[in-house]
Amino acid sequence: MAIDQQQEKLKIIIVGAGICGLACGAALREHADVTILESVAEIKELGAAVHLAPNAHRLIQGWGGDLYQYGAVPNRNVREYTKDGHVKYNIPVDTLAEFGYEWVLCHRVDVQAELHRLATRPDGPGAPCKILLNSRVVTCDPEEGKVTLKDGTVMTADAIIGADGIRSAVRAAVNPVFSSSPSSHSAYRFLVPMEKIKQHPDLVELGVTEALTMIDGVDRRIIAYPCRNKTLLNFVVCLPDSELNEISEEKWSAKGDRDALLKSFETFLPVHQKLLSQAEEIGLWQLRDQEPLNQWAKGRTLIVGDSAHAMLPHQGQGAAAAIEDAEALGFVFSGANITREQVPELLQRVFRLRYRRATMVQQASRAAGLGDMMKKASGFEGGKMPELFSNMMAFRKFNMSYLGAQDWEANHQDYVLPVDAVKDGVLVV
Ligand SMILES: Cc1cc2nc3c(=O)[nH]c(=O)nc-3n(C[C@H](O)[C@H](O)[C@H](O)COP(=O)(O)OP(=O)(O)OC[C@H]3O[C@@H](n4cnc5c(N)ncnc54)[C@H](O)[C@@H]3O)c2cc1C
């Protein structure tokens, strides 16, 4: 809905220009003057690829996004082998038929580029977001809607959105009790040119050139899938921290060592080792998540994305949840004539709308990483996991059939926190 011509536009500051911050920009630009503050000098998404299930892809397309222009690959098959080469499952996928949108395999740089385009394009709704690089936020006054940058600059807005990732400075101001913790596993991540893989018929036979492929060794696993028009093969290779000298509580990422990687997989089949041996430049990341936070919003400030619900990658839904947060913000701020006074309540509404769904996905990701959906998940509201978790297919449908915040609020009340569940911004049940 258009903003009343008479009324001054709301001013919103988003902290962080990662996937979440840029998606928030794309969602909010129609309803406010948006400035995005990013700490780095150049926006460069690290890591390798990301897969976006239909729940996230739908929302990006809703903003006018087109990931196919960068060579996004529709995922048509998921297969898993044991480390002895037995096929655990090999399932055809057609989420376009099932949910109306493809499950796409993308280079992270491309997702970032497309969200950047949506947030800043001159022909989009409202005004393009302003992005200020080299702007690290060091403190935030959540009640006042004020941030202070490293160089001492103070900036104020009607709302501050903390999309500054797992080490969030904004979270420290909204909910200082919680921080993330290591999961006891880390992941090597790298990309290999597909041409290199295609030179080996035994590697092609594994299916990696076409499908999302997993090779499971219980406490370690290889995940590989194509991206960018199938010209690159993306790897995420998880293994226990106990085998890594490079990673510690203080050091969350490092350059990966190819020999160490191969050594950790020496009990796998020779063909799996050959697959890993194609690696060139390798990154190593500690896998961390956090307990569900009992407060996301305080005064004029809200945390979203990894800042609010950092999760393990085992459901491939972290970026998707961040994109869902962004769309929920856009929905809540889409009312006509929103005043500065209404902002704190609107931010609480986003928390109530998003908390249960994001927490369920976060907990399911942790449980999947631990290998047992039902028994090992913890930390859900009241300590009880919803029934839905007992059935993988039902949970997949829960993830992928999401239609956006408006539908969620209207038709999925069980998954929206009631107003009285939150007192002074804090979840009380
Ligand atoms: C191995 C692995 C695989 C994954 N695979 C998938 C997948 O397939 N699908 C999926 O949906 N998700 C996946 N995820 C999760 C996904 O990567 C994250 O959930 C997502 O990137 C979070 O985005 P974000 O914008 O919230 O945070 P970030 O990407 O961390 O972005 C935060 C931004 O804020 C900036 N910033 C930080 N502090 C400040 C500050 N103080 N001031 C200003 N700017 C600041 C940072 O520079 C950065 O640009 C994976 C994660 C991992 C580790």
With respect to residue 53, please indicate whether it lies within any of the assigned structural domains. no
Neighbours of 205 (CB within 10 A): 10
Domain CATH for 142 = 3.50.50.60
- Select from 13, 23, 287 the least CA-distant residue to 153: 13
8 A C-beta contact, residue 271 and residue 263:
no
Look at residue 388 in the predicted model and tell me its pLDDT. 67
Q: In the structure, what pLDDT confidence band is assigned to residue 373 with cuts at 50, 70 and 90?
A: very low
* Cβ-based neighbours of 306, under 8 Å, separated by 6 or more: 18, 20, 165, 166, 168, 318, 322
Total domains in the chain come to 2
Domain boundary among 289, 324, 352: 289
Q: Is the CB of 51 under 6 A from ligand 1?
A: yes
With respect to residue 295, please indicate whether it lies within any of the assigned structural domains. yes
With respect to residue 268, please indicate whether it lies within any of the assigned structural domains. yes
Same domain? For 135 and 216 the reply is no
Residues 69-74 have a mean pLDDT of 98
Same domain? For 237 and 366 the reply is no
* Cβ-based neighbours of 6, under 8 Å, separated by 6 or more: none
SS3 call for 243: helix
Residues 387-392 have a mean pLDDT of 68
User: What is the Cα–Cα distance from 416 to 386, expressed in whole angstroms?
Assistant: 14
Average pLDDT, the chain: 92
Q: What percent of the chain has pLDDT over 70?
A: 92
Q: Is the CB of 25 under 6 A from ligand 1?
A: no
User: What is the Cα–Cα distance from 298 to 387, expressed in whole angstroms?
Assistant: 31
With respect to residue 82, please indicate whether it lies within any of the assigned structural domains. no
Distance 306 CA to ligand 1 centre (A): 6
Q: In the structure, what pLDDT confidence band is assigned to residue 383 with cuts at 50, 70 and 90?
A: low
With respect to residue 193, please indicate whether it lies within any of the assigned structural domains. yes
pLDDT at residue 382 tops 60:
no
Same domain? For 229 and 361 the reply is no
Residues 399-411 have a mean pLDDT of 97
Q: Is the CB of 18 under 6 A from ligand 1?
A: yes
Same domain? For 314 and 264 the reply is no
Nearest-atom index, ligand 1, CA of 317: 11
Tell me whether strands 104-107 and 130-132 are parallel, antiparallel or unpaired. unpaired
With respect to residue 75, please indicate whether it lies within any of the assigned structural domains. no
Question: What is the domain extent for residue 377?
Answer: 10-45+113-179+291-427
- Select from 48, 50, 77, 88 the least CA-distant residue to 210: 77
Same domain? For 29 and 123 the reply is yes
Q: Catalytic annotation on 101?
A: no
With respect to residue 362, please indicate whether it lies within any of the assigned structural domains. yes
Same domain? For 330 and 375 the reply is yes
Cα torsion 304, 306, 311, 316: sign: positive
Q: Where are the beta strands (DSSP E) in 198-308?
A: 212-216, 221-227, 232-240, 253-255, 283-289, 297-298, 301-303
User: What is the Cα–Cα distance from 194 to 302, expressed in whole angstroms?
Assistant: 41
**Least confident interval from 36-45, 151-160, 220-229, 278-287:** 36-45
Distance 311 CA to ligand 1 centre (A): 10
User: Nearest residue CA, atom 20 of ligand 1?
Assistant: 319
Same domain? For 314 and 383 the reply is yes
Same domain? For 167 and 225 the reply is no
Same domain? For 285 and 400 the reply is no
Residue 209 CA, distance from chain mean position: 24
pLDDT at residue 108 tops 90:
yes
Same domain? For 278 and 151 the reply is no
Q: Is the CB of 54 under 6 A from ligand 1?
A: no
Same domain? For 191 and 336 the reply is no
Same domain? For 21 and 151 the reply is yes
Q: Is the CB of 297 under 6 A from ligand 1?
A: no
With respect to residue 57, please indicate whether it lies within any of the assigned structural domains. no
Q: Using CB atoms within 10 Å of the CB of residue 121, give its burial: 0 to 12 exposed, 13 to 18 middle, 19+ buried.
A: middle
- Select from 265, 201, 216 the least CA-distant residue to 81: 216
Which pLDDT tens digit goes with each residue over 34-52? 999 999 998 876 668 999 9
**Least confident interval from 229-243, 326-340, 387-401:** 387-401
Q: Catalytic annotation on 70?
A: no
Look at residue 303 in the predicted model and tell me its pLDDT. 98
Distance 237 CA to ligand 1 centre (A): 18
Residue 11 CA, distance from chain mean position: 25
Say what the pTM is: 0.95
Domain CATH for 264 = 3.30.9.30
The residue assigned the tokens 């009790």 is 177
Q: In the structure, what pLDDT confidence band is assigned to residue 375 with cuts at 50, 70 and 90?
A: very low
Residues 96-109 have a mean pLDDT of 97
Domain boundary among 255, 289, 323: 289
Domain boundary among 271, 289, 307: 289
Q: What percent of the chain has pLDDT over 90?
A: 79
Which residue of 14, 20, 302 sits with most ligand 1 atoms within 8 Å of its CB, as the best mutation to test the pocket? 20
**Least confident interval from 57-71, 88-102, 384-398:** 384-398
Which pLDDT tens digit goes with each residue over 250-278? 888 889 999 999 999 999 999 999 999 99
- Select from 398, 401, 399, 396 the least CA-distant residue to 78: 396
User: Nearest residue CA, atom 49 of ligand 1?
Assistant: 18
Q: Token pair for residue 176?
A: 């200082």
Look at residue 1 in the predicted model and tell me its pLDDT. 45
